[in-house]
Structure 1
């Protein structure tokens, strides 16, 4: 069973790559921490795979963030944009 192509309505956007880079966490470290294969993390980061609810919650827990800070059905703005809005 192969991965199904995603339509825009099905796409789950995420900040996994940004969070990994910020915290200097490798794909393997994150994968080990949430119980998946490192390739799965790559699929998530490229938007080729949408996580199950359980996986999304484990990834959010790994980064100690609310799930909405990591995943969204809408494109996520750059983190710098969000910080500028909060600190005028």
Structure 2
């Protein structure tokens, strides 16, 4: 599986667990909502700094965004 798709799936998973909308996640991470949408759809290639921002807002370690889930 493409790593971008893995990251996107994990961002969506943790975002939904926290009850945040894409807009709320984007605002809290100081990103644009369409960028977060692109990450979740696996079409954006987030840098490690972006992954760290998203993970911080989601309350997980950045490495959790890279883990394969079934």
Q: Which ranges of structure 2 fall in alignment gaps of 5 or more residues? A: none
Show structure 1 runs of 4+ deviating over 2 A: none
- Size of the aligned set, in residue pairs, is 66
Higher relative contact order (CA 8 A, sep 6+): 2
Q: Which has the higher strand share?
A: 1
In the superposition, the TM-score normalised over structure 2's length comes to 0.82
**Which structure: larger Rg?**
1
Q: Are residues 1:45 and 2:40 paired? A: yes
**RMSD value, Cα:** 1.4
Q: Which ranges of structure 1 fall in alignment gaps of 5 or more residues? A: 1-7, 79-88
Q: Which has the higher helix share?
A: 2
In the superposition, the TM-score normalised over structure 1's length comes to 0.67
